[in-house]
Amino acid sequence: MALTRSIVDVIRDQAGAQGFTAVRAVRLEIGALSHVEPAAILFCFDAISRGTIAEGARLEVERPPGRAFCMPCGAPVPLAQRYDPCPLCGGHQMVLVGGEELRVMELEVE
Which position among 80, 88, 95, 105 is part of the footprint of Zn ion (CB under 5 A)?
88
Which position among 10, 44, 59, 73 is part of the footprint of Zn ion (CB under 5 A)?
73
- Shortest CB 81 distance to Zn ion, Å: 15
Which position among 3, 44, 61, 89 is part of the footprint of Zn ion (CB under 5 A)?
89
12-41 residues near Zn ion, rule: CB under 5 A: none
Q: What angle do CA 15, 19, 22 make, to 5 degrees?
A: 60
CA 40, chain centre distance (Å) = 13
Q: Which residues contact 53 (CB under 8 A, 6 or more apart)?
A: 11, 12, 15, 20, 21, 22, 23
Give the interface with Zn ion as residue ranges (CB under 5 A): 70, 72-73, 86, 88-89, 91
